[in-house]
Amino acid sequence: MEPLPPPRPGRVAWSLTCLVLLALRGWPGAGAQVTQGFELQQPQDKVSMEAGETLTLTCTVSPGGPPGSMKWLKGWGSENQTIYGQTGSFPRVTRAVDESETDFSIHIRDVQPEDAGTYYCVKFQKLFPDGEELFRRGKGTEVSVLAKPTHPVVSGPGRRVGPGESVPFTCTAGGFFPQDISVKWFKNRTSISAQPAQITPGQTKASYNMSSTVTMTLRKEDVRSQLICEVQHLTLRAPLRGTYQLSQALRVSPIVHVDADPPSPVGVNKTVKFICHVKGFYPGNVNVTWLENGTEMSLQNTSRPVEMSQGLFQLSSVVEVKAMEEKNGSTFTCRVVHDAQVPVERVTTLWIAAPDREGVNSMSTAANGSLLVIYIVVGVVCTVLALLVAAILYLIRMKQSKGKSSPSARLHEPEKSSEATTQESDPNNLTYADLNFEKEKKSIRRMVEMSQQSEYACIQTNRAPNGDDNLTYADLDMVHLSKAPKRPAPHPEETGSEYASVQIPRK
């Protein structure tokens, strides 16, 4: 027999490879022998930690496993993600024990809510000529990341509003886990009610966002008030607070009025100051202009806004005008534009008085003042006199009512004749009549004649009745006695009266 040709080297190598594969896969019990005693342990069931910390995942294997790599996977199935492998770059992940054949624990730095999930430690088996397949995997570790909420932010309306208007304010925070969160609102230090907070999913499935709204009615006193949103979460040692200054949403319109110094009317060529007072406004940006008869004036002096006690502002603007006659009746307008709102205008008029009229007016004012004083004095005096007269009349009436029985004496002068009026008067021819009615009885006496040509008549009544209210009446008419006719006594006589008629002939 011819000897067989020697085998080629390539065929010998292929034959050996096939024998090895058959030994591993074809022979009964060969795979079992290779994997017998291999163990993979992943002891952590759940891990919870705060965001920003370092996560440690533990995995150990027994020696003698089949050829193949070790990996850490997040999730399982088609959406799994390789967190760490023996090949490749993984910046945040490191081995707990470098180059260990049995310890494949890893560290993940700065975990975030999006790192939450289930992690698996996996052993792969190498396939020939290339590739690999799953050999063992751990039971999985569920990782939850407790995330702190972001700092709350309070936002207000997009425009300023006036006192008395109601506007909403919103507080937002996000990126927290778990979703349980509480929100409180305060105005300064006073708690206020708000609508329930709304919780919505965040950018990842393991984070949430919060939004809370409160509605407030603003007042002008709120310029220095602030709104506070307080957020409490289990990841926080102390509440987080977001603030909002209500002055950012408030507008207080100014109060405007104009004064003149001196007030109208003024003398010709005098200087008049018109002062525009702008008070109680917020914010402090305001523009003041003056107009004379509708034309803007350039000469004016406007002060800077000054902050008041409540946080509001005030200022004044002054314009000086020379009171010339041609400016009589001119109008001066103070126009105020605050915070780009509709202008507020106040108008005053300049009135000029003539010089002579001004003097007359001054004198009239002084005279009117003096007359007023005189009128008051005269009124008081007249009132006192009227009271005195009334009192006297009252006393007289009372005396008359009680003294009707008083004695009276009358001497009636007869009508003078025309002849008597023509006679020459003689100063030495005098006639006297003396009627004495006294309360006490007196002796009749003769009066010494005043001259040799005089006649004298004296009549003394009897004692008068007791009482001060008795009155005595005397009516004496004297004429030239030689010409006067004899006149009878009047009839009837008054009740209770005594009548005396004396006629003395001329000697």
Q: What is the pLDDT at residue 403?
A: 57
Range of lowest pLDDT (248-252, 322-326, 391-395, 407-411): 407-411
Tell me which of 72 and 36 has the higher pLDDT.
72
Q: Tell me: the pLDDT tens digits for 275-291? A: 999 999 999 999 999 99
Range of lowest pLDDT (198-202, 299-303, 310-314, 501-505): 501-505
Mean pLDDT of 110-134: 89
For residue 57, how many other CB atoms are within 10 A of its CB?
A: 23
Range of lowest pLDDT (155-169, 240-254, 364-378): 364-378
Q: What is the DSSP string of 222-253?
A: GGG-EEEEEEE-TT-SS-EEEEEEGGGTB-BP
Mean pLDDT of 359-387: 73
Q: What is the pLDDT at residue 24?
A: 41
Q: What is the DSSP string of 50-91?
A: ETTS-EEE--EE-SSPPS--EEEEESSSTT-EEEEESSS--T
First vs last Cα of the chain: how many Å apart? 238
Looking up tokens 């709304």 gives: 198
| Architecture of domain 255-353 in this structure | Sandwich (2.60)
Q: What is the pLDDT at residue 127?
A: 87
CA dihedral 8, 11, 13, 16 (to 10 degrees): -130
Which option is the CATH number for 153-248: 1.20.58.340, 3.40.1180.10, 2.60.40.10, 3.30.300.30? 2.60.40.10
Mean pLDDT of 339-349: 94
Q: What is the pLDDT at residue 408?
A: 43
Q: What is the pLDDT at residue 442?
A: 43
Mean pLDDT of 177-204: 92
Report CA-CA distances (Å) from 33 to 23, 24, 26, 30: 11, 9, 13, 5
Distance CA 271, CA 437 (A): 83
Q: Is the pLDDT of residue 440 over 50?
A: no
Single out the residue of 116, 144, 143, 146 nearest to residue 234, CA to CA: 146
**Which homologous superfamily does the CATH classification assign to the domain defined by 38-146?**
Immunoglobulins (2.60.40.10)
